[in-house]
Amino acid sequence: MNQVRKIEKLNEQELQSNTSFSASWHQDYRDTSYIFIGNLPSKLDEEDILTIFSQYGVPTAMKLMRDKKTGDSLKFAFLKYEDFKSCVLAVDNLNGYEIVPGCMLRVDHVRYKPYKYSDGYDANLKFDENVKKMLEEDFASDEEDGDGGKDKKLIKDQEDDPELEDPMAAYFKEKEKESARKSEKHRSSGKQSSDRHHSHHHRHRSSRSHRDDDKHKNSGNVTHSRKEKRSSRSKTDRDEESRSKRDREDDEYGHRESSSRFKKRTSHRGHRSSTSRR
């Protein structure tokens, strides 16, 4: 019991300090894939133990210690996994587990020394041979089914067994359907909003285009009006210039006529004066 508490305390400390796997106390036993299983119920046999511990990995060897004469269980065993990480999982999850009321398992790493059979009769031999056959049959089934064949068969058996059906499966399926409906509704709402925005944007662009056209027309009209005004002003200026020119010409012509008449009168007066003197 003290060893069970000790392992639990180590795991709790590592959990609180967030210790990485590479720095865990488990690494002290990374050179072995054996675990020790103690405080087993006397009624558990080799097949029961394999069934319980195979959920954390693939067992490759197992030795339940029995009385050499009677063959009764001595309530402790050694099990070897295919992978060291399976040992870590088994120790962390099954140590301290109360498999039956008042029977708390002790699971720990161990460096196993092979069991030596007695020269005479040893009841362990018969049970160990049965374990060996069970493991060989399991490996043979894996090879026939291919990689993962045993796991696939196990999954199929679990799916067909109504007692193993997940009670929350129906709830999660309903939640997925509800989520899908909400997502579809959101997409539909987003599409309608996008259409309204596009229509509004189109009307806005159309209105702006009409305003630009009107502005362009007004600008054209203003420009045309300005051109007409400039043309009218130019014509007026030319008319005034023409009238001024004619007026100057008339003035010059009048001046010349007046001068000519003046000269004639002066000449006539001079002639008359000379005639009278004579």
Q: List, for residues 144-199, the tens digit of each pLDDT value.
A: 555 555 555 554 555 555 554 555 556 567 767 777 887 777 777 665 655 555 55
Query: Among the listed ranges 46-60, 91-105, 234-248, which one has the minimum average pLDDT value?
Result: 234-248
Amino acid residing at 96: G
Residue 252: pLDDT band by 50, 70, 90 thresholds?
A: low
Reported as a single tens digit per residue, the pLDDT across 43-65 is: 999 999 999 999 999 999 999 99
What pLDDT shows up at residue 65?
96
Residue 39: pLDDT band by 50, 70, 90 thresholds?
A: very high
Give the separation between CA 35 and CA 38, rounded to whole angstroms.
10
pTM: 0.51
| Percentage of residues of the chain with pLDDT beyond 70 | 54
Domain 2-164 belongs in CATH node 3.30.70.330: yes
Q: Which residues of 107-138 are buried (b: 16+ CB within 10 A; e: fewer)?
A: bbbbeeeeeeeeeeebbbeebbeebeeebeee
Average pLDDT of 227-253? 61
Higher pLDDT residue, 222 or 256? 256
Give the separation between CA 219 and CA 175, rounded to whole angstroms.
64
